[in-house]
Each structure stands twice: as C-alpha cells, then as structure tokens.
Amino acid sequence: MSLDALLHRREPTAFELLRSNPLLFLSQRVNSWSTCRHPVISEPPVRIVCIADTHNHHHHIGLLPDGDILIHAGDLSQSGTLEELHDTLDWLASHPHPHKLFIAGNHDHALSIDDTERAALLATYPTLTYLQESSTALSVRGRTLHVYGSPFTPAHGSWPFQYRRGAQHDARWDAIPPDTDILITHGPPAHHTDRGSGCNALLAALWRVRPLLHICGHIHAGRGIEVLRWDRAQTAYERICAKVGGWMDLLVVLWGAIGWNAASIRQTVLVNAACLGGFRDEQTRGAVVINL
C-alpha cells in the first residue's frame, strides 16, 4: 500500500464489516442500540463535563459547557514537557467548574519522572485535583461522590504509566475502592469504546467495582458513550468480542436488549471522551456531558 493510500484510507463500509465477521458485526449493532439508553438519573443530578486527549489542542476544542465537575482523563500534552503541561493546566484552572480533576496519560512524561518536579507543578494549581492511583471524595448538591483515578494503560512502546499488556488480571486494579462512584482511567476496558485495544484486566476490575461513571480516553477512535449493564447479555457480548462466543451468545445479547429493565440492575455509564479524532488526529471534538 502506498503512503498516500495509507494516509487517506477510508473506514470500511457496514457491508464490508458484515461480510468479514457477521457475528461480531451483528452483536456490536445490537449492543450499540441497547446501551444507548441511559440509566435513571438521581435527583438532583450532578453535571459532569468530560474531556481527554487534548494533546496541546485545548484552545481549539471550543467553549466547555457549564457543570459541577470537570474531568480530564489524561494526555493533556503531546511531548509531556513542563511547559506544555503548564499551558494546559493554566487553561484547565481558568474554568469556573467547582470541582476540576485530572489524571495523566502516557504522553504526560513530566508527571511520571520526578516527584519533586511533579509536586511543584501541582502546587501551582490549588484548584485542580490530580489523581494517580488515588481517591478523593467530592460533595456536590448534597451528595458525596467517591472518585478514583489512574493513568496506567497496557504497554505499547516506551511511554510512561504502562503495565504488561494482555493480562487478565493486574494487581494495580485491585486498589480501586469498592465504593467508587466515578472511575477515571486513561485507557478503556476491553470490548467497550476501545476499537479492539482495551484492557482485559481493567474490564475484570469494572465487573467487581461497577462504578456509576467511568471516564477514559486514549483510544481516539473509540470516542463515545456506552451503558454497561453487568448482566448475562454483556457477558455474551464480551465473549463474542473476545472471539470465544458463538451464535447462541448473539441470541443472549438480543434477548437482553429486548428485555432489559434499566431500573433492575446497577449500571455504569462509560465515556471515552477523547477530544482528538480522525486518522491523523485532524479532528478536534468538544466535551461530553453526563448527568449523573
């Protein structure tokens, strides 16, 4: 394939996807239809503004919507220098949201190397809360929300904040407290907003914790919202995505979509809020807003 063809290649059509893997194609369509229905919102709702993967393009993503909580899920910078991070954090701190939280991503080198430099950087922004395998509790509209954040993603290249790829379990995810309401990770779990590049160990942790909201990024093409249901239908869907499921699993996915009662089970709203998109990251996209 020529360089020009590679740079300008198009996305496969629905027919091409159906022909290449009909089981996966159909299960993804059913799952997408069934998981676009958001769960019942608590009263009063908490408005959460989600962004990720701004990569120094923060000044170009447009005006951020108002909200109670502003969350950046990592990759604030491109090269990870202190200068880049200061510019992004200045911008983040300038917003009026009462609570502003962020984690690092694999591009944010300056947050990974030197504890003293990191502490000095964070001290400059007292209105921002940085989470690195740590938790905080927020009081919002009479509610207390427990938030846990981690920058780590499966290894790819020599980036910071990485761990062994492919494991079904990773001990770092055992540290997520069971009472976590909002989970912030840089990368997505396997099979959900991940374009086939998510983490199995993180998915296993989500099955254990089942937060109300999970915000991630990292996989720019995976941007979107899913509602994870923690039921047999989701298990069947994940089996198909992992290439161990069959047509009976598709029937379970379909039956779950038809008979799903949103009020009967705890659900997780999963948001991949990557702001850059397109084959060469030429697209700049705005925030995703969730009422929780």
Give SS3 for 87: helix
Contacts of 243 (CB under 8 A, 6+ apart): none
Judge whether 11 lies within some domain: no
Q: What is the DSSP string of 220-289?
A: GGG-EEEEE--SHHHHHHHHHHTT---HHHHHHHHHHHHH--TTSS--EEEEE-B-EESTTS-EE---EE
The structural domain count of the chain equals 1
Quote the pLDDT of residue 10. 55
Quote the pLDDT of residue 176. 98
Judge whether 176 lies within some domain: yes
Question: Per DSSP, what are the bridge partners of residue 276?
Answer: 284
Judge whether 265 lies within some domain: yes
Judge whether 4 lies within some domain: no
Rounded-to-integer distance, Cα 95 and Cα 76, Å:
15
Alpha helix (H) residue ranges in 160-199: none
Backbone angles phi, psi at 71, to 5 degrees: -130, 130
Judge whether 182 lies within some domain: yes
DSSP class of 127: T
The parts of the chain modelled with pLDDT lower than 70 are 1-11, 15, 17-18, 35-42, 260-264
Quote the pLDDT of residue 40. 53
Owning domain of residue 186: 26-35+45-291
Judge whether 19 lies within some domain: no
Judge whether 12 lies within some domain: no
Judge whether 230 lies within some domain: yes
Tokens of 50: 């989600």
Alpha helix (H) residue ranges in the chain: 3-7, 14-20, 22-34, 82-93, 115-123, 200-209, 232-241, 247-259
Residue 195 maps to which CATH number? 3.60.21.10
